[in-house]
Amino acid sequence: MFTFTPLAFNKVSDLLQYATMRIENPIDQSSKFEFNATEYPTGSVFTVDFYIKDVTDMYSWQIYISWNISIINFTQGWFPDNHIFKAAEEDGAILIGAIQFIEESQGMGYVKAGMVTMHLGNDPPYYPVNVTGKGLLCKMNFTIMATPPEGEYFQTNIVVIKETPGSAPGSLDSCVFLYPSEEKIEIKAEPAQVRITSASAEIPHPIQDIAVETVELSKTKIYVGENLTITINFKNYGNSIETFNFTLKIGDIELVRDDLTLGAGESDRFKYVWDVPKDMSLGTYQLEVYVEPLEFETEIANNTYKTEITIERILTSFEYALWLISLWFSTSLGTLLIIYAVLVALVLLVPAVFRKLKHLQATR
């Protein structure tokens, strides 16, 4: 369900870390498209729906999708009458949108789709929309391009990509915009799996293997009150699309419990920013990322990634001075100075002690 915002709207939205999108089969609302080559020969056309989920104050979106052009190819795309900005248009907003095939590169096809909703009475001149649950962005038709040999199958994924070929590293090409900001908000989307099987093909036994490839830390030594950026890189080494659960912990503190979906052979990253509590105990902690094993997963050694971080606190000027003194005295030169000081003290004190003793004896 979606709602449109009144024209008097003038609120600054709290920006999300990312927006969630879903690619669906309109027949069963799943993210899988299974076709038997006998019923769906080469040239058959099927429809794919693209949804956005639970987003507030969105006035624009754009996505880039890719797929294997030797298996399927883009035919056409359109904005149906029930797309998310339709009610805004009926209320006087101006819509600017397009869906177009942009290129083929190294066996992959790419389509760009997007729309912006505008109203000159607003400042800035956009017309934000709220989506509760899921809202339809657009529809696309694809054509089946090949029939697999007997006993075999073809498989590809329809994927929303962050960066298109030729984009500068770090570009964010699939994104939404939230009123009134012009900052790009990343879109995360589960890939859709398309599989075409011959009449006698046997669906392969699922190979399930989700790995935590690496964990990148903005720093390994951090002070209380600061923040730590944690980037987790996952990869699906299996042969099918998988949704898996994972946790991120530091010591006994569970920071994240979430899920992610990856197509076969695909990688993705998850980024989390942790604000270290000011009352956090100092010391060295184990950071652990753990992926819950899937039903048929046997290689589970790569489901866990562990590393260490050290939490300290910033010293006061007095504490810092004492630390420098203790550090200096811990060196060999500092040790010699201590010995020298003791000897000097003895040289000064011993004669004084003897004089005192003689004085006491003389007064008896």
The CATH number assigned to the domain with range 2-197 reads 2.60.40.680
Give which of 136, 120, 112, 2 is closest to 57, Cα–Cα. 2
- Cβ-contact 140, 99 below 8 angstroms: yes
Cα–Cα distance for residue pair 11/163, rounded to 1 Å: 31
Domain boundaries, the chain: 2-197, 210-312, 324-362
Same fold, 2-197 and 210-312: yes
Listed in sequence order, the residues at least 6 apart from 10 whose beta carbon sits closer than 8 Å to its beta carbon are 122, 180
Confidence band for 2, pLDDT divided at 50, 70 and 90: very low
Taken in order 73, 68, 135, 89, the sign of the CA dihedral is: negative
Using the predicted structure, report yes or no on whether residue 12 has a pLDDT greater than 90.
no
- Half-sphere CA count of 86, side-chain side, radius 13 A: 13
**CA atoms of 130 and 109, how far apart (whole Å):** 31
Distance CA 269, CA 274 (A): 16
Tens digits of residue pLDDT in 62-121: 999 999 999 999 999 999 999 999 999 998 999 999 999 987 888 899 999 999 999 888
Report the C-alpha dihedral over residues 248, 251, 252, 253, rounded to 10 degrees.
Answer: -50
Res 7: pLDDT: 35
Least confident of 21-25, 101-105, 347-351: 347-351
Radius of gyration of the chain (CA): 32
Cβ 72 vs Cβ 231: under 8 Å: no
Residue 138 has pLDDT above 90, yes or no: yes
pTM above 0.85, yes or no: no
Q: Could you tell me whether strands 129-144 and 45-68 are parallel, antiparallel, or unpaired per DSSP bridges? A: antiparallel
**Residue 262: pLDDT band by 50, 70, 90 thresholds?**
confident
210-312 is classed in which CATH architecture? Sandwich (2.60)
